[in-house]
């Protein structure tokens, strides 16, 4: 059998963004990438004041668990949980996290 260097490749050039998305889809890494994107964009979502008082942040079973080191800020975030979830859905997308838990 003769080697064909173009086998399995697209003939036209693809934009980097779509090529990256195709790569994530092929290796089934879309959800992990979105989770890491959410964790890394936490300071941008909630602001510097809250981000400075955030300890650990991780996702487990579609729940975003956030360790807050300040009691008043933790209480304020608990009262505005739905707003934070809507910010996450707006920035990252739906289906990444279903619940938000402040520790």
Find out whether 102 and 77 touch, Cβ atoms under 8 Å. yes
16-102 is classed CATH 3.30.70:
no
Start-to-end CA distance of the chain, whole Å, equals 60
**How many CA atoms does the CB half-sphere of 17 hold within 13 Å?**
0
With a pLDDT cut of 70, the percent of the chain lying above it is: 86
User: What is the pTM (predicted TM-score) of this model?
Assistant: 0.73
Domain range summary for the chain, segments of one domain joined by +: 16-102
At residue 48, φ and ψ (nearest 5 deg) are: -65, -40
pLDDT range class, residue 28, cuts 50, 70, 90: confident
Locate tokens 């779509």: which residue?
A: 18
């Amino acid at each position: 059998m003769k080697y064909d260097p173009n086998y399995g490749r697209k003939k036209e050039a693809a934009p980097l963004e779509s090529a990256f998305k195709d790569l994530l889809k092929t290796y089934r890494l879309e959800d992990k990438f979105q989770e890491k994107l959410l964790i890394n964009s936490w300071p941008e979502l909630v602001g510097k004041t809250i981000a400075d008082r955030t300890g650990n942040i991780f996702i487990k079973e579609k729940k975003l668990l956030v360790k807050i080191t300040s009691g008043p800020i933790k209480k304020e975030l608990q009262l505005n949980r739905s707003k934070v979830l809507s910010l996450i859905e707006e920035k990252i997308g739906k289906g990444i996290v279903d619940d938000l838990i402040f520790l």
